[in-house]
Structures are given as C-alpha cells and as structure tokens.
Structure 1
Amino acid sequence: MLDDALARELGLDPDWLRGEDGVRLLVGALVPEGATPVAQAYAGHQFGGWSPRLGDGRALLLGEVEDPAGGLHDLHLKGSGRTPFSRGGDGLAAVGPMLRELLVSAAVHALGIPTTRALAVTATGRPVQRETVQRGAVLARVASSHLRVGTFQYAAASGDVDLTRRLADHAIARHHPAAAEREDRYRALLEAVIAAQASLVARWMLVGFVHGVMNTDNMTISGETIDYGPCAFLDAHDPATVFSSIDERGRYAYGNQPAVAEWDLARLAESLLPLLDDDQEQAVALAVESLGQFAPRYEEELTAGLRAKLGLEAAGDGPAVAAVVAEALPLLAATRADHTGFFRRLADAARGDEEPVRALVEDPSALDGWLGRWRALAPDAAAMDRVNPCYVPRNHLVEEALTAATLGDLDPLHRLLEVVTDPFVERPGRERYAEPAPEGFGRYRTFCGT
C-alpha cells in the first residue's frame, strides 16, 4: 500500500515507487546514490527502567528527502532486517502491525495532530516468526527527524559534553531555530520541546488517543507522534483505560499521559544539564524552572481545545464558561460516554436535539444540569462539526480490517482509511464506522508487534 498523496508532497513519483526500483527502495534493497543508511543509536527509560543502549533494532534511516518547498524529511524503514541494535531479534516486521501504523498514523494526521507518516507498507513474501508464522512487511515512514529524548540520553550517558552540544545544535537548527536567537539557546531548546510536547499530548487527550508506550525513546524532539505499536482510541471515556498488553500497572493509561510526558521531559532536562550552566546546582534550578512550564502550557492547550470542541470559542471567559469546560471530561468519565460520539452528537444538542447525545449514556438524567448550562452559552454547532471527528479508527474496525488484510483482503482496510482520513465529514451509509464497539467485542488488548 502506497500513500500517493504523501509521495507527491515529498516530490516522489508514485508510479516510480510502484516500479521495480521503487519497491526495492521501499524495502531497503536499493540505496539511493549519495545516501548512507544508518541505524540510529539511542537510550531510554522503558516503563521507568533505564536501558543505556537501545537503538533501531529493526529500523533503518535511509536518508533525507527534500520536498519541493525545500523541507527536509527523514525516510525511515521499519522491518528491513537486523541491525547492530537488534539484540538477538530478527529485525523483521509483520504485515498486521505495519498496516496498523499506516492506518492510525494516517488518521492522526487527518485529525491535525503532528505525527510521523507512513509512505508505504510493502509485503516481502518472507515469513516472520512471532507467536505464529506471519507474513513479512516493511514500513517506510517519514518524519521531520527521528531525534528522541532517548537520543539525548544516549549522548549524555557517553559523558561527552561536546557530543551532546553538537546534537543540541543540530536539533535547534532542524526543529527549533528560534532557540538560536536566545543567549541561553540550550535552555530555549528545552523549553521549545516542552511546549511542543504539551501541545501534542493535549491534542491526544482531546481526541481520546492512547499512545500506549510513552517511553523516552518514543518522545520526539520535534513534537511528532511516533511509534504506533499498542496505540488505540477510547470508546467509553475512562481515564484508567490501558490497551497495551505489556502495561500491566497502567503506567501509560489514557489519564496518565500528561504526567508521563512531564516525567519524560525531566529526563531530557537531565541530559541537557551540562549545557544549561557550568554549575550543576544552578543548571538543576534552571531545568526545574523550565519544566514548570509544562503543566500550565498543557492546561492552556487542553482548555482551548475543549472550548473549541464545545463550540464556546466565542463565548467569553466568564465563570460560567470556565465551569462548563472544566466539568466536560469528568462528566464523560462519570457517565462512561463514548468519547468520540459524545462530542460529535453534542452538536445536535446545540441545534436543539438532545436525544442523540443522551442515547450515549445509561442514565441520561446525569447530563441534565450540565447540558442546560452549556446550551445557555449559545454553542456554535457548525464550529463543533469542524473540530469533532465523526470517525476515528475504532478498535473493533481496526481489528476487522487488519485480520482481513493479513489474509490478503485489503478492501476493509481501504474503506476504513477512506473515512478516517476525512474524519469530519459525516457520510450516509457509513454509520457503522461511527458506532462504538459491539457489546461482544470484549476488553481490547494491543501488542507492540515486535
């Protein structure tokens, strides 16, 4: 599967990519002239535990692609084979997990959230042994870069301050050039990453996205979503929701994502301490002060997003508006309302028909007081439709599409991609794509695919 539109954005010819040389490029069998592919090294905290050497165990950075506007993008393969960081693994990937990343990253992009993007998933015909024998595939994805918090941790752990400095200078030039204008450029870099991640996680929370594996090696310096292994979207709104099969203690539950992001950013700050000040005590004080920007920035982004989702952007800043906004997510949690459906059907209530949103909760009377106060603020239904998706990759539909795809039938995947990549336009005949999982679907579990 090839994303033709993304290929054209990058200045690549989709027809060439479908040809023999293009396919060889997309699986790592053809190295472009002048390119020097590398498996990137990084460290990381995984579920809170320190791993000093991780790196691309099944991935390969082919090189950079310059788009027609002059922008640079990493072209990165996943599942192309063993690397020096494979640690006994085969370096391969199976069709199902790679198609999951293609599908969900496309949906996240369509929702306006910064993300790595899948250019193609190419079946290799090679068997991959996991719990069972599966069909092999290689994912080709693009990002503004693949620099991670774990990249800085790896450099810092080497004890080479000059290496950390050069890495930071590269990150500033590549992602946060405004930081170079400040005298304290490395503190400015830290604060730019903090701001980018606060915005990113707030956007995840607004659409009910659960990343599932927020290790420091999966937090980008650019503020793009990366690694779509055990990710999923909420059906019933519940802050304790965990989808990942290996997250036994709920560290990366939906409601924990802001706190985990702040924890990860503290690890970035630790890596940058030698660049913040020669005096370690002063460097720590500066880092702590900068980290203090995360929570207010996150709350600002979340509140602004909720105001938009509730149609209250033009409603002023009075206490009545603040109360309605602050109570929205706790109300969803208390009623276990369908996250996506609640906000989408709330626009019907703004137009005078409350029945669709009331039908989403077991006890409709629980909505009475809040709905009345919200409607009194004259919410803008048309504005709500523009920011509240009708379609997200519902978990049962993702599984249905991936199961069919692994058996060679791509039609369900194409149909699901059609709606989730145009998520704000409600279409007749696509009602099942907007419905929560059926009762028999059970507790959903996702896997990292390695």
Structure 2
Amino acid sequence: MSADGTVPFTAPPLLPQTRRYAALGDTYAPQVATTPLPEPVLLHFNAALAEEIGIEAAAAQRPEFTALMAGNRAWPDYASISSVYAGHQFGSFVPQLGDGRAHLIAELQGRDGDRWELQLKGGGQTPWSRFADGRAVLRSSIREYLASEAMHALGIPTTRALSLVGSPQPVRRETIETAAVVCRTAPGFIRFGHFEYFYYQNRHAELKPLADHVINEHFPQFAGREDRYQAWLTEVTERTARLMAQWQAVGFCHGVMNTDNFSALGLTLDYGPYGFMDAFDAHHICNHTDEGGRYAYDQQPMIGHWNCSRLLQATLPLLSEQPEQAVEIANSILERYPPAYTQAMTPMWIAKLGLRDLRLDDPELVNRFLGILHKGHSDFSRSFRHLARLRTDTDAPAHGIRDEIADLEAFDAWVIDYRARLRSESSDDTERAVRMNAVNPKYVLRNHLLQAAIEQAQGGSYEEIDTLFKLINRPFDEQPEMERYAEEPPASARHIEVSCSS
C-alpha cells in the first residue's frame, strides 16, 4: 500500500508470448520509447472496457496508471514499438508513412481470452514522425476517444478507447493548443499500408511473416492452410464491404479513407475529420480539405472497394509465384466485394424502414425515401427515428417526421406506398416501432455536441465529455432526460468544419 493509502496499480498479465507482434522485429516495428508528458491528468477512463481487458476499475485512481496512459512510464516487461507502413493518400502513393505519434505499449489477454493491443496516440516522436512533434491535441483526442466508443455502441467494428489523458503542454497547430494522449485498443493495428510498404519497396520476402502473423493471431481458422492468404484476403475484403455498409446505414463519414487508415482486420481505424451527418446530403463531404469530394458519403463504398484492390495488389506475391495466376486470384477475391456490400447494405435499409422481409420493389421504396431526405436536406437520424411513429391503422398524416421534410407532396405520396407495403405484411405498429428503434439510433455523436465538449474541456471542465460518453453508450434508448442531445444543431453550428489537423 502506498503512502496515500491506495493500492499500487498492478498491470494485468501479458499474453503467454509477451511480444507477438513485436517479435516480428525492427523490420516491421522497432522499439521506440514514448516521450514523457508534463503534468498529465486522467480526464476520462473507460471502466467497462478496462474490465474486459483485465484492468480493475480502481486503476483510474492510481498515479502509476495515469503515468502508463500518458507514456511517462513503460508497461512492465514491454518495450514500446512503432510501426512503419506506406499508403495511398487521396489516391496518391506515399512510400513511407508510419506511426508518427503512436506507440504500441502492451499486448494483453483479456478476461475472456481475447487479444488486446494497447496503443498510445500522441505519445511523442518516432522515426516516422517526419519532423512533426509526435503529439496529439486535446481537441482531436476528445473526438477520437468518444467516436470509437460511439461506433462500438452502434455495433460497428472499431478500435476502442481506454483512457484520455490531458496536459498543459502547448502544441502548435493552426493555433496553440494543449497536448493529450488517447490509449486506444484493438486486437491489432495492422493496416493495408503495412503490406504496401514492403511490396512497393520490392521487399516481397517480408510480406509473408507479416501476413502469417495476421492470420495466426487474428484468423486462426485459416492458419496452416495452403490457401491461407487467399482465404484471409477474401475475408478482409468482405469485412471491409460490410463495414462500409454499416457506415452508410448510420450516416457516418470517415473523412480520410486512405489505405494507411484501413485495417487488415476489418475495423474502423483512425478518427480524424469524421462526422455523423445531420442534414442528409448524399454527396456530403465531412473533411473540408477534401476539395474534390473523393471521400464523400456516397463515394465511401467505392473507395472501400478501391482500397481493397490496393491491398490485393500489395499481396500478389503471396497468392502465387506465377504473376498471371496471382492477378487472376486477386481479381476473383475483389469480385466478392460488390455482392458482399449489397448483401449487407440492402437488409440494413430494409430494417431501417421496419420491413420484415425483402421484396422486389423494396429497394425503390428505400431510394425514394432517401431521395426525399436528400432533396430537403432532412436530418438523417431524426427522420428514420421519427418514421417508427407512423401508424398503419390510419391514413392521417405522419406526425413528427413531416416536420423534417421539405417536399411534403412527394413525402405524402411515398407514405401511401409505404403504408401499403407495411399492411401487405400485416405489420404491427408497436412491434415494428421496437424493431426500428433498435436499428435507428436516437443519439449520434454530432459535431456540435463534440464541439461543445471540446470548448468546455479547453476551459478546464470535463463534465461534458462524461455526459457524451454515457449518452453514446446507449444510442438506441430514449433517455428522456437527454432529449436535447437528439435535436438538430442550431443554425450557428450547422457548418462546423473539420480537417486533418490534429
């Protein structure tokens, strides 16, 4: 027991092989020490996730834990590492990128046996910092901390966030801001760009150990098979297609869908200038530096497909020693993306409308509704949520949702067909509303809510971070006391711009 009466933090046991990814060696991820952060303060702690990992919730009260989460001390028996990778950024290949401000500090085994890697984002300079300071600012750290947990609560595969640490250390971006560190967690952080790095340097022999690590640790069902690379790449391609469908269904825009921001495990990775849409615009661009709209909402499924093609290009040497055969296999894998996307996306739209099964004309019904929302820039989340209140036992106007609609003539004509479709399957209004509210979130992490939390935190108050954290962990629940968080943004906050600066 320490002098203040607390029990010192004890790190949970490392995996039986304590350095599984690190064991690949300096070629992939050299040892890089974190840079101590002055006067670190634990601003928020994800106690539920900590319990999953095997870290007791009381750890948040101990200065030793804050020091670990700030990068001010090393995890017991683990030297931190930082990865090198490449990537296609806005369509152009950059031959060397890497963890410019990220350090993998531990590989753990959770209470249920699952694998967890802990990575500090903002932990200081690395060999891949490219003359940058290796720090993250409080603004972007709050956004990533909350976004990853919001996506998890929505059921979307993602990295997670364990802790948020702040510091008064000044950091220059467009203005002077303060530093922060997020500890993010995932089964693994390997990106498409890891494979691109070795492929485009013609270091093809180094692809195999990396791919075998991914397969052995994360896709053990394929381990040892002669076709293991083909099987893994097929699975990742289909996972990516399903992930894009999940993003579209909740109106999530990533903002920077570069190949170095795509996970070889099929997770949502790197939360920069992301946004959940307020006013629905099929061409919405959430990153104001994306002037050409390459990563606009309606382009995300196609970019996911293109990124998979880049991963397959980079892994051709694994598929066959014969180049022509390797290309043929890669093309056959890539062909799996469109149907995988459709098979995931169509049922999601059908479920969002409360339909129990798919019929021939249902896609047209969905597209007409989306067209009405797009034309009037109706609020995406509120419109679907209100639709659950429509009744089929009356032909009276649909209340609630009509307040969101600009073209009421088109909407009222659509409602006639929608009611007829619901009646054709003898839909029960009460039961349908329950199903719709289970897939249409009432609360999403809107930019104006984040901005309010950021501004308060920059002023020294962190209560709004905790409020949003609790809110987003129950996105489908009514939470009457939180009703104002489901409202449209005020006019003054409808054009908040986010960029890659962090």
Q: Do Structure 1 and Structure 2 share a fold, with TM-score over 0.5?
A: yes
CA distance in 1, matches of 2:450, 2:391: 31
- 1:429 CA drift (Å): 3.3
SS across alignment from 1:91: coil
Q: Residue 340 of structure 1: which of 347, 357, 381 is its match?
A: 381
Task: Give distance in 2, aligned partners of 1:66 and 1:220.
Answer: 20
Q: For 1:213-362, list aligned pairs within 5 A.
A: 213-312=256-355, 314=356, 316-350=357-391, 354-362=398-406
Instruction: Report SS of the residue matched to 2:104.
Output: strand
1:203-222 C-alpha deviation (Å, 9 max, x unpaired): 00000000000000000011
**Distance in structure 1 (CA, Å) of the matches to 2:474 and 2:501:** 27
Aligned to 1:191: 234
- Give the Å deviation of 1:125: 2.6
Alpha-carbon distance in structure 1 between the residues aligned to 2:168 and 2:276: 31
* Aligned mates of 1:437, 1:135 — CA distance in 2: 27
Moved more, 255-264 or 173-182: 173-182
Partner of 1:363: 407
Q: Does the CA-based 8 Å contact 2:143-2:271 persist in structure 1?
A: yes
Among candidates 442, 449, 457, match of residue 390 of structure 1: 442
SS of residue in 1 equivalent to 2:59: helix
Query: Partner amino acid for 1:444?
Result: I
- Residue 182 (structure 1) shift: 5.0
Name the aligned partner's letter for residue 150 of structure 1. Answer: G
Deviation at 1:159, TM superposition (A): 2.1
Structure 2 CA distance, aligned partners of 1:436 and 1:175?
40
**Change in CA separation of 1:181 and 1:368 when aligned onto 2, cut-off 3 Å:** farther
* Candidates 437, 450, 470, aligned match of 1:418: 470
> Could you tell me the percent identity over the aligned residues?
40
Q: CA deviation at 1:332?
A: 2.4
Larger mean CA deviation between 75-84 and 288-297 belongs to 288-297
- State the partner residue of 2:7: none
Match of 1:428 in 2: 480
| Distance in 2 between residues matched to 1:195 and 1:178, nearest whole Å | 16
User: Residue 248 of structure 2: SS of its match in structure 1?
Assistant: helix
Cα shift at 1:172: 1.2
Q: Which residue of 2 aligns with 1:93?
A: 136
Residue 74 of structure 2, aligned match among 31, 35, 38: 31
Conserved in 2, the CA contact under 8 Å of 1:97 and 1:448? no
Shift of 1:441: 2.2
Alpha-carbon shift at residue 37 of structure 1 (Å): 0.9
Which secondary structure does the structure 1 equivalent of 2:481 belong to?
coil
Distance 2:77 2:199 in 1: 30
Q: Tell me if structure 1 keeps the 8 A contact 2:52–2:112.
A: no
Q: Does 1:377 align with 2:421?
A: yes
Contact 1:303–1:325 (CA under 8 A) maintained in structure 2: no
How far, CA to CA, are the matches of 1:91 and 1:222 in structure 2? Answer: 25
In structure 1, what is the equivalent of residue 17 of structure 2?
Answer: none
Please tell me whether the aligned partners of residues 86 and 95 of structure 2 are also in contact (alpha carbons under 8 angstroms). Answer: yes
Q: Within 2, Cα distance between the matches of 1:56 and 1:22?
A: 23
User: Gaps spanning 5+ residues in structure 1: where?
Assistant: none
Pairwise CA distance, 1:248:
1.3
> Deviation of residue 326 (structure 1)?
4.3
> Shift in Å at residue 442 of structure 1?
4.1
Q: Which runs of 5+ in 2 are unaligned?
A: 1-43
State the Cα distance separating 1:296 from its structure 2 match. Answer: 1.2
Deviation for aligned residue 1:245 = 2.6
Structure-2 separation of matches of 1:4 and 1:318: 44
Instruction: Say which is worse superposed, 14-23 or 113-122, in terms of deviation.
Output: 14-23
Kindly provide the amino acid, as one letter, of the partner of residue 439 in structure 1: A
- Give the secondary structure class of the aligned counterpart of 1:359: helix
Written as runs of structure 1 = structure 2, the 5 A alignment for 1:11-90 is 11-90=54-133
Residue correspondences, number: 448
- What TM-score comes out, normalization by structure 2 length? 0.86
Amino acid at match of 2:208: R
Q: Does 1:138 align with 2:181?
A: yes
CA contact (8 A) 2:448 2:494 kept: no
Shift of 1:174: 2.3
- SS of 2:315's partner is helix
Q: What whole-Å deviation, never above 9, does each CA across 1:248-305 have from its counterpart, x for those lacking one? A: 1111111110111111111100011111111112211221121011111111111011
Residues 374-383 or 40-49, more deviating: 374-383
Name the stretch that deviates more: 102-111 or 208-217.
102-111
Contact 2:116/2:185 (8 A) holds in 1: yes
| Amino acid in the other structure paired with 1:318 | R
8 Å CA contact retained: 2:95, 2:200: yes
Which residue of 1 is the match for residue 170 of structure 2?
A: 127
SS of 2:108's partner is strand
Q: Cα deviations across residues 109-147 of structure 1 (Å, max 9, x unaligned)?
A: 111101111111111231112222212111111011000
Contact 1:79/1:138, CA 8 A, preserved across alignment: yes
